Amino acid sequence: MTTAAPLLVVEDIVKRFETQDGVLTAVDHVSFTVAEGEFLAVIGPSGCGKSTLFNVMGGLLDGYEGRVAVAGETVNGPHPSIGMIFQEESTFPWRTVIDNVAFPLEVAGVPKAERLDRARHFIDLVGLTGFERRYPSELSGGMRQRVSMARTLASEPRILLMDEPFAALDEQTRLLLGDKVLQIQQDLKQTTLLITHNLTEAVQLSDRILVMTYRPGRVKRMVDIRLPRPRSSEIVGSDAFGHYVAQIWNDLREEASRGLKDDEQRVARAGARR
Amino acid sequence: MSARTLLWREGLPIAFGIACLLALLFLVEWLVRHGLINPFIVPAPSEIASSFGRIVVEENVLGLFLLTCAEALAASLMLAVAGIALGVLLHRMRLLRMATETWIAALASAPLVLMYPLFLVLFGRSAWTIIMIGFVAALPPVVLKTLEGLTGTRAVLINVGRSFNLTPSQLYWKIFFPSALPSIFVGVRLGMIFALINIVGVEFLINFGGLGRLVNELAERYDLAGTFAAIFFVILVSIVFFLVTERIERWLRPGR
């Protein structure tokens, strides 16, 4: 039996930034692959380069070493096969829900009737039927994030990149939206890469978890999550779930402590300079 | 929401505003009648009110009102087109922006209306002098607020556009402009106010045109009640323009 070629290949990515204090290596020789239909979570402490990696994979950052490829084709900028959901609230406040979701279809030149029809399908997928004519200002944070999700899904990307999409939400909403993401991912067999610093979220949603070190961000470990599918938020209470969370926390604790110490030293140096 | 609650919520601020205005007018009336304010400097509000009929009939104030409106409209349209275009240009050309932004801000506070002799030489004693002074004096706030709106577009919205492979032109029309619209409208409204002030000021100075000319003539005749009544019509021009731009903004940006 032959193994299918991975859909997403991230090969030896190195990204450096020029700062006031010199050259900062945000991502240092990171490599991994994602198979079609797989859900991979990338977890690490704050400042480990997760968002940098997200922007590199999404084609929003250049000036890096290494290679990102989708279905064998090297990514040199924003790619139609890659859809991105950002951490910050990103709905267009001047467009209704349906016009937000139809946005990528409008850009692609899809006729109006067809794009609104397709937009309604994705609005229904994220559970927002009935809110088509509302503006984002009339919705809650969780609902706005679902609009962003529907908009990205409407462009039918082969790979969905999500950068801490639930970071601004409370824990209960986060868990319930995680259920929604799982359901969508399972229904669409959507290849998904989730950037997060939330242990529960990573274990709840993913097939594998890539644990990153603190700056410079490197791959510390890849963890297979062998929890049954289909899943829901109920799995959070299981022993196996707790075991995985503990295992990943073991890896992360050391990196998180380094990050904390680094922050304290930086603040102390800044105070001394003043 | 019930009709009663809606009436209370929408009607109360308006009613309160009118009540405050009436209270102020009654106060001024009392102060003038009791000699605490000189009636030769500030006529009693009742006297001003009674002069309205006279200046509408005898001074063709409605025709002059329309003339000042037309001048302000011409200046505003030129302002919107040129100001927004310049704002976009400065947004696109960083070096030009860094070189000129401070000068444009300084121009905003410069009394350009005092350059009216130069404009008289260029355009003659005509409506164009009035319109061009209004236009030039009001350009800085439109340019600066357009620039502020464009540079203030949230990076995540730009990244959304980039992630969907928008062309630079699409990014401008579908993301930058709609995002900047509230700021652009603030700039256009500020610009209209600047334009109107300068238009009426130049009409007054050169004794030509609409309401500014009327204010000058009535003041020279020491018809103070009529002068204040004419000033009311100047304020009315400003209110009309404000309401129109507010409607246009609501139509262009219904999600606000």
Mean of the pLDDT values across residues B186-196?
A: 91
User: Which amino acid, A228?
Assistant: P
A96:B175 CB<8 A: no
Label residue B114 by pLDDT band (50, 70, 90): confident
pLDDT higher than threshold 60 for residue A84: yes
Please name the residues in contact with A153: beta carbons below 8 A apart, sequence gap of 6 or more. A83, A122, A125, A126, A160, A184, A188, A190
Q: Between A84, A92, A93, which is nearest B163 by CB?
A: A84
User: Which amino acid, B220?
Assistant: E
In terms of Cβ atoms closer than 10 Å to its own Cβ (0-12, 13-18, 19+), residue B124 is exposed
* Chain centroid, CA B221 distance in Å: 28
pLDDT higher than threshold 80 for residue A232: no
- Interface list for A 42-61 with B (CB within 8 A): 58-60
Tell me which fold the domain A1-81+159-240 belongs to. Rossmann fold (3.40.50)
Label residue B199 by pLDDT band (50, 70, 90): very high
Write down the pLDDT at residue A66: 93
What residue ranges do the domains of chain A occupy?
1-81+159-240, 90-156
Write down the pLDDT at residue A224: 93
Reported ipTM: the value is 0.88
Label residue A268 by pLDDT band (50, 70, 90): confident
Chain B nearest C-alpha distance from A147 (Å): 13
Chain A nearest C-alpha distance from B178 (Å): 7
B212 close to B72: Cβ distance less than 8 angstroms: no
The conformation of residue B41, written as its DSSP 8-state character, comes to T
For the record, the structure tokens of B2 come out as 């019930």
Nearest chain B residue to A93, by CA: B255
pLDDT higher than threshold 70 for residue B255: no
A173 close to A166: Cβ distance less than 8 angstroms: yes
B159:A86 CB<8 A: yes
A220 close to A229: Cβ distance less than 8 angstroms: no
Write down the pLDDT at residue A49: 87
Chain B CB contacts of A153 under 8 Å are none
Q: Which one of A56, A75, A107, A162 would you mutate to disrupt binding with B, by most B Cβ within 10 Å of its Cβ?
A: A107
Q: Between A60, A90, A155, which is nearest B157 by CB?
A: A90
Write down the pLDDT at residue A184: 84
- Interface list for A 106-145 with B (CB within 8 A): 107, 135-137
Q: Between B157, B163, B170, which is nearest A92 by CB?
A: B157
Is the CB of residue B157 less than 8 Å away from at least one CB of chain A?
yes
Q: Which one of B154, B158, B164, B165 would you mutate to disrupt binding with A, by most A Cβ within 10 Å of its Cβ?
A: B164
pLDDT higher than threshold 90 for residue A139: yes
Q: Between B156, B162, B254, which is nearest A78 by CB?
A: B162
Place of tokens 């450096």: A16
Chain B CB contacts of A136 under 8 Å are 255
Mean of the pLDDT values across residues A29-39?
A: 93
Write down the pLDDT at residue B248: 83
Q: Between A78, A88, A135, which is nearest B255 by CB?
A: A135
Q: Nearest-CA neighbor of B254 among B148, B180, B190, B178?
A: B178
The helix/strand/coil state of B53 is helix
Chain A nearest C-alpha distance from B136 (Å): 31
pLDDT higher than threshold 70 for residue B132: yes
Please name the residues in contact with A166: beta carbons below 8 A apart, sequence gap of 6 or more. A145, A173, A174, A177, A178, A198, A201
> Mean pLDDT across chain A, nearest whole number?
89
Domains and CATH numbers, chain B: 1-42 (no CATH), 49-252 (1.10.3720.10)
Chain B CB contacts of A60 under 8 Å are 159, 162-163
Label residue A1 by pLDDT band (50, 70, 90): very low
A92:B162 CB<8 A: no
pLDDT tens-digit series, residues A151-192: 999 999 999 999 988 887 788 888 778 888 888 888 888 899
The dihedral built from the CA positions of residue A84, A88, A91 and A97, taken in this order, carries a sign that is positive
Share of chain B above pLDDT 90, in %: 57
pLDDT tens-digit series, residues B18-36: 999 999 999 999 999 999 9
pLDDT higher than threshold 60 for residue B256: no
pLDDT tens-digit series, residues A188-211: 888 999 998 888 889 988 999 999
